[in-house]
Amino acid sequence: MGTITYVSLEGDESIHPQYEEGLARAEELLGKTHPLYIGGREAFAGETFTVTSPIDRRLVIGTFQRAGAGLAGAAVDAADGAFEAWRSRPWEERTVIMDEAADRLEASLFLLAALITLESGKPRGEAIAEVGEAIELFRYNARQMWEQNGFVRQMPASTPAQPHTSVMRPYGVWAVISPFNFPLMLAAGAASSAIMTGNTVVLKPTSAAPLTAVHLYHVLAAGVPNGVVNLITGPGEPFGDAIVGSPKVAGIAFTGSRAVGMRLQREFAASQPYPKPIVLEMGSKNPCIVTAHADLAKAVEGVTRGAFGATGQKCSATSRVYIHESVFDAFAGALTQRVQEISAGDPRIRETFMGPLIDERAAARFRAAAEETRAVGGMVLCGGDFIHGGILDEGYYPQATVVTGIPGTHRLMKEELFVPFVILAPYTTLEEALERANDTEYGLTAGIFTEDPAEADEFFEQIRFGVCYANRKGGATTGGWPGAQSFGGWKASGATGKGVGGPYYLLNYMHEQAQTRL
């Protein structure tokens, strides 16, 4: 089968029978009650909550513990108690352990992909690739540890008698808070990186999609001492209250909305006795520029995949497209035609490209965007409604939506929507397009389509985003991959400037100790 990526699966017939087998196994796991895991032991709260599938709200994913602040605090205590022994393990041993975890992920690839489909509604191709990305991240980070000698470096001596060493050391207990849209990758990326570098972890997945995280916990816990990784489920507020004020928490890794991320940052800073690290990934409003020198067929395909892959529910989704006025009509017409060909529906079906929205709140955002487009005099070129019939009536299945005529200052041009909704706008000069693309507080991903190398050079020089693409047919603003295209945002999209899957990401979870021995 070879390396699995987001663009390598097309034409690979071998994945489908394996996915179907994984789906059958995953469906057998549904409907069970799941405990918390604290210090290597099962724990139970006084209350539980039930999660249903966005595919069909009659399908019960499972019942999970509604942990309060007390159990969250117990998980922090367990992680703190395991830290000294774990950080003292040679980095070589920790790296081998995480490499073995990658093998366990790979052995469960299609089961995990099916679980992702069932609890987040992600179609099979994207779900399989998400597991492949997590596997590759584990292995890439392991290679980084070996290549960097565990981040231990001999420094030049200031005098012949004063040798110096730079050593990166773990911080301690990390709280990892993960979202629904990449329930494996975004939990595994932060948790495995923290653990590999000698930290311990309390993992708190979103309540919308906790089952994949339960299986990730078992993958990680199988190779480490009790307490190195702990799993808490339940509402965000009790957990957040427990971690932001705990002196035992050394750092927070959060992926989710800007509002929640910024609140965490403020509260963590205010409640701790000294500054502590926080790794934030908080979404974006991602632009793409289509110039007069673009290959329009390539641009149409790239925007289609970038805007509507994963039903637009990813922080890298293409949401604003600026098209040179000379090719605007041609591009808009071709894009509308291509988007109307998208197969939307049950993501368990092989042909499905676009599945359901995660919940009613997402559906409300989608409805509001379509209504506001019409209210401001914009034009809905295609989509703007939901699809119905049979099982589709048991979830929220939106049409892929393309609109134009939205004022540049309108909130639809400024706010992340997290739905399959893309806005087209004409421009006159590349300078104007770049200025409008940069006119946002976000800064995660951006793309351009042009066959003119000078235009591409100008784009990369002037764009103020962390992950940038030129002429990417597989996704105009999507496609990060460990060891190839790191993934991290600028401005309101991220906090550290060190993208996951890149050569600097592990440094987020360590601080430097300079040593001089005489």
Examine the pLDDT at 463 and tell me if it is beyond 80. yes
What's the whole-model pTM score?
A: 0.96
Taking only the tens place, the pLDDT of each residue in 380-432 is: 999 999 999 999 999 999 999 999 999 999 999 999 999 999 999 999 999 99
Query: How do the residues of the chain divide into helix, strand and coil, expressed in percent and rounded to 5?
Result: 40, 20, 35
Long-range contacts of 272-276 (CB under 8 A, 24+ apart): 272/244, 272/247, 273/247, 276/171, 276/249, 276/250, 276/251, 276/252
Under the banding of pLDDT at 50, 70 and 90, the label for residue 3 is low
For residues 419 and 368, what is the distance between their CA atoms, to the nearest angstrom? Answer: 11
SS3 403: strand
What phi and psi, each to the nearest 5 degrees, are found at residue 480? -60, 145
Contacts with 17 (C-beta within 8 Å, 6 or more apart), sequence order: none
Report pLDDT for 192.
98
Q: Are 400 and 418 in contact (CB under 8 A)?
A: no
Please tell me the least confidently modeled range out of 239-253, 328-342, 424-438. Answer: 239-253
Q: Give the residues across from 494 on adjacent strands.
A: 281
Report pLDDT for 158.
83
Q: What is the CATH superfamily name and number for domain 15-282+495-511? A: Aldehyde Dehydrogenase; Chain A, domain 1 (3.40.605.10)
Please tell me the least confidently modeled range out of 240-244, 248-252, 289-293, 511-515. Answer: 240-244
For strands 229-231 and 162-170, give the pairing: unpaired
- Sign for the CA dihedral angle at 273, 275, 277, 281 comes to positive
Report pLDDT for 10.
65
Report pLDDT for 386.
98
Taking only the tens place, the pLDDT of each residue in 33-92 is: 999 999 999 999 999 999 999 999 999 999 999 999 999 999 999 999 999 999 999 999
Distance from chain centroid for Cα 8: 19
Report pLDDT for 13.
86
Report the run of H or E that residue 152 belongs to, with start and end.
Answer: strand 152-159
Using alpha carbons only, give the angle 309, 500, 153 rounded to the nearest 5 degrees.
160
What phi and psi, each to the nearest 5 degrees, are found at residue 484? -125, -65
Q: Are 253 and 185 in contact (CB under 8 A)?
A: no
User: How far from 117 is each of 114, 162, 183, 226, 229, CA to CA, in Å?
Assistant: 5, 58, 10, 30, 25
Tokens (6 digits) for 98: 């995480």
Q: Which amino acid would we find at residue 215?
A: H
Q: Give the residues across from 487 on adjacent strands.
A: 500
315 annotated active-site: yes
281 annotated active-site: yes
The domain 286-481 is placed in CATH, from the list 3.40.190.80, 3.40.309.10, 3.40.50.300, 3.30.1330.10, at 3.40.309.10
Catalytic residue among 136, 315, 455, 468: 315
Q: Give the residues across from 332 on adjacent strands.
A: none
Under the banding of pLDDT at 50, 70 and 90, the label for residue 93 is very high
Helices (H), 160-249: 185-196, 211-221, 236-244
**CA neighbor of 212 nearest in space, from 136, 313, 308, 108:** 108
Taking only the tens place, the pLDDT of each residue in 351-388 is: 999 999 999 999 999 999 999 999 999 999 999 999 99
Taking only the tens place, the pLDDT of each residue in 79-91 is: 999 999 999 999 9
Helices and strands of the chain, counted as H and E runs? 15, 20
Under the banding of pLDDT at 50, 70 and 90, the label for residue 160 is confident
Q: Report the percentage of the chain scoring pLDDT > 70.
A: 98
Examine the pLDDT at 9 and tell me if it is beyond 70. no
Of the two residues 462 and 161, the one the predictor is more confident about is 462
Report pLDDT for 5.
65
Catalytic residue among 119, 130, 133, 281: 281
The domain locations on the chain are 15-282+495-511, 286-481
Examine the pLDDT at 291 and tell me if it is beyond 80. yes
Contacts with 84 (C-beta within 8 Å, 6 or more apart), sequence order: none
Q: Report the percentage of the chain scoring pLDDT > 90.
A: 94
Q: What mean pLDDT, rounded, does the chain reach?
A: 96
Report pLDDT for 105.
98
